[in-house]
Amino acid sequence: MAKKDKPEDVQPNSRSANGESSIYYGADGYWHGRVTMGIRDDGKPDRRHIMRKAGPDGEEDLKTRDKVAKLVRELEKQRDQGTAKKAGPKWTVEKWLRHWVEEIAAPTVRYKTITTYRTVVYKHLIPGIGAHRLERIEPEHFEKLYKKLIASGLKPVSVHQVHRVARTAFNEALRRGHIGRNAAALAKPPMVDDEEELIAYTTAEIQRLLTAALKRRNGCRFVLALAMGTRQGETLGFKWERLDESTRVLKVRKGLQFQKWQHGCDDPHECGARLHKTKPCKPGCKLKRHQKACPPPCGPDCTKHASSCPERHSGGLVEVDVKSKAGRRSLVLPGPLFSLVMKHKATQDQERRTAGTEWHEGGWMFCQPNGRPIGASADWAEWKSLLAEADVRDEKLHLARHTAATVLALLNVAPRVAMDFMGWSDPSMMLRYQHVTEEMRRQVADGIDGLLWAGTDAPGGAQEDRDAEETGVDDDGESELN
């Protein structure tokens, strides 16, 4: 790096060799610093420029040159550590979030994941912090946003989801060199109170549910959930072609998922014009579909309401791959359960013959009376009705999966086998899904009893009571004579 003590000792525009950093005094009366940081998007060198006005005298001028030298060294450090901001147009937080969610995340993640990302980005992050410059966003900006979301009524667990999405989006910006640090990762989300631990259904509750389920059409579907722990989408997506009747093996490969329809027309805004909401709801709105919160009026460029588009596509009940590689598993059905499944198949064959031309053949193991697949909402309503009929506590359908996992622990199934059975790739999922039940605690107590006091009078029994009476010592170990 070339340095000169005085401006008069420096030739105007004297520079170092190509690619090297340089500091020089220009004919314009400024000290200049230039640092090669890399290559720009267009293939040209990314050479950063720093300039400061020369001082009025020799001492002040040396200080000015030293300031430029310090800034040059800082840029070199950022370049060498890979933390330098990327060259190009300045990003706002809104511009980056829109680019990230639509161009980076959307093509690479699952439908439900991108749906969550879009909700968080467009509903919370952009309205809250979108106007900030991307490289100037601070952890405090996120923390203030989280506080506002809590004050607006959003639950802490939902705010944590906002935090996770922000952290993911800004981590990608960091990885691509648009920012030098991830401010979202440094921000502290609000504290979440420990939720009450789920309690798996007891053996008696399971039996009542099984008895009630077998009285219903497609009731075998809930038996599968309780016995084999299959997810809702997996169960509704089962097809007969994936059941090997000779080996009783049911392959889990696909799941059924509802996805929003997409416009296929040229003008989505005009296509949904008749369904646009132009005014907010009046106070005290009692519409059933607005039970949680009344939706705001549609924006001037609204492109929703694709379900009414004559050329709609990519929506409705869609068959998708299971959540992970571990989710692609094969389940060996217990004998009694396999018999129930085959009985269900015979019933469905009779329904097919009765429906005749009205039957829509899709090969679904569980379907509507006309052969069409069953949606999650209808399935959820059936589950709630089943709980009421069986007089079992009201819980989410997903608790059936927790119950099946807990049964595996009760049966002392090896962890590796349990992971394969449930379709887990992470052993930590066992801690989340397998719960300690009262029956397990009693088994432990009985085991301790059998090991330590087998063939002897247990402490606290009749013999000990007689000894206490003879010695005059009460339960607290004190003599009654005192």
Going residue by residue through the chain, which has 482 residues, state the pLDDT in tens, using 9 for 90 and above.
444 444 444 444 555 555 678 888 888 889 999 988 887 766 788 888 889 888 787 777 788 888 889 998 888 888 887 766 666 567 899 999 999 999 999 999 989 999 999 999 999 999 999 999 998 999 999 999 999 999 999 999 899 999 999 999 999 999 988 888 999 999 999 987 655 567 899 999 999 999 999 999 999 999 999 999 999 999 999 999 999 999 999 999 999 999 888 899 999 888 988 888 888 888 888 777 777 677 788 888 888 888 889 999 888 899 999 888 899 999 999 999 999 999 999 999 999 999 999 999 999 999 999 999 999 999 999 999 999 999 999 999 999 999 999 999 999 999 999 999 999 999 999 999 999 888 889 889 988 888 888 766 655 554 455 454 554 544 444 444 34
Same domain, 333 and 221: yes
- What is the torsion angle, in degrees rounded to the nearest 10, for the CA atoms of residue 122, residue 127, residue 131 and residue 132? -90
Note whether residue 249 is domain-resident: yes
Same domain, 124 and 73: no
Using an 8 Å Cβ cutoff, are 6 and 18 in contact?
Answer: no
Same domain, 457 and 310: no
Same domain, 151 and 237: no
State the pairing for strand pair 45-53/243-244: unpaired
Note whether residue 192 is domain-resident: no
For residue 32, the surrounding DSSP H or E stretch is strand 30-39
- Which pLDDT belongs to residue 3? 42
Same domain, 75 and 100: no
Note whether residue 52 is domain-resident: yes
Same domain, 428 and 444: no
Token duo for residue 475: 């339960």
Note whether residue 88 is domain-resident: no
Using an 8 Å Cβ cutoff, are 142 and 169 in contact?
Answer: no
- Which pLDDT belongs to residue 437? 87
Same domain, 22 and 97: no
- Which pLDDT belongs to residue 429? 93
**Sign of CA pseudo-dihedral 257, 96, 140, 48:** positive
Same domain, 38 and 176: no
Give the domain-ending residue among 186, 215, 237. Answer: 186
For residue 273, how many C-alpha atoms fall within 13 Å in the half-sphere facing its CB?
4
Note whether residue 290 is domain-resident: no
Q: What is the CATH number of the domain that holds 102?
A: 1.10.150.130
Same domain, 462 and 402: no
DSSP-assigned states of every residue in 270-330:
HHTGGG---SPPPTT---GGGSS-PPPPPPTT----GGG-TT-BS-EEEEEE-SSTTT-EE
Note whether residue 293 is domain-resident: no
Integer Cα distance of 98 and 157 in angstroms: 24
Note whether residue 181 is domain-resident: yes
Note whether residue 289 is domain-resident: no
Taking each helix axis from N to C end, the angle separating 139-151 and 156-175, rounded to the nearest 10 degrees, works out to 160
- Which pLDDT belongs to residue 384? 97
Same domain, 214 and 325: yes
CA dist list (Å): 306 to 121, 300, 302, 356, 478: 21, 16, 11, 32, 81
Tokens 């960091």 — which residue?
174
- Which pLDDT belongs to residue 449? 85
Q: Which of 371, 365, 406, 395 is nearest to 221 (CA)?
A: 365
Strand (E) positions, 219-273?
A: 243-244, 249-252, 254-259
Give the domain-ending residue among 81, 114, 133. Answer: 81
Same domain, 177 and 119: yes
Give the domain-ending residue among 127, 158, 186. Answer: 186
Integer Cα distance of 454 and 295 in angstroms: 67
| Sequence-distant (≥ 6) Cβ neighbours of residue 369 within 8 angstroms | 217, 351, 355
Token duo for residue 330: 């094969």
For residue 267, the surrounding DSSP H or E stretch is none
- Which pLDDT belongs to residue 271? 92
CA dist list (Å): 221 to 13, 248, 329, 382: 80, 16, 18, 11
- Which pLDDT belongs to residue 417? 96
Same domain, 101 and 56: no
Note down the domain range covering 445: 440-470
Q: What is the C-alpha R_g of the chain? A: 34
Task: Please count the structural domains in the chain.
Answer: 4
